[in-house]
Amino acid sequence: MGTAWIAIVGTVVGAATSFLFQRLAQSRTERFTRDEQLRARRIDAYSDFAERVMDWRRAHMTRLRKRLVTGPDVEDYEPLRTESHVLRARSWAAFYKVKLLCGDPALERLALAAIEATHEMSEADDRVSLDELGESVRARLDEFLERASEQAVGRAIRK
């Protein structure tokens, strides 16, 4: 009879231990899956943001060069202005997605700096200053992407 009890207790302890290890493994798997999904969403949001800002920068450059050369009263200037405004709205929407996903105030500030640098391009009064402001946008975006890469990939990009 003592042997039977030892077998029963052994079976119960084995089943309980097995259950605990399965729960731990399942919990780790769920955490890993959530982390991977967040990482993938961040990478998508960060790359989308960079694309949107560069599109807005390009449209801004085209529109402002046209304004500097021919003036804003030219008939084909208005579509350029409209495109620039649409791309500005898309850039802000991409920024809000970054803000929701990043969880890092420093990274959010870098993204905002890229947006603000793009907006500052409208202050250009000649081609030289426009080109300088355009390069400022690129530099701010590079800073953002460097930090975003560190967060999303988990390492610094080597230059």
Distance CA 122, CA 142 (A): 21
Residue 156: predicted pLDDT: 45
Q: How high is the pLDDT of residue 130?
A: 92
For the chain, the C-alpha Rg in angstroms (whole number) is 27
CB atoms within 10 A of CB 54: 17
Query: Could you tell me the maximum CA-CA distance found in the chain, to the nearest angstrom?
Result: 103
Looking at residue 27, its pLDDT comes to: 74
Q: Which CATH class is domain 39-153?
A: mainly alpha
List, as one string, the DSSP characters of 120-132: HGGG--SHHHHHH
Give the SS3 label for residue 154: coil
Q: What is the pLDDT of residue 92?
A: 97
Exposed/middle/buried for 113, CB within 10 Å: 0-12, 13-18, 19+? middle
Give the domain ranges of the chain.
39-153
Per-residue pLDDT of 37-91, as tens digits, reads 889 999 999 999 999 999 999 998 999 888 888 876 777 888 888 999 999 999 9
Mean pLDDT calculated for residue range 133-149: 95
Q: Lowest mean pLDDT: which of 26-30, 42-46, 116-120? A: 26-30
Q: Does the predicted TM-score (pTM) go above 0.75?
A: yes
Looking at per-residue pLDDT, the higher value among 57 and 35 belongs to 57
Mean pLDDT for the stretch of residues 26-34: 77
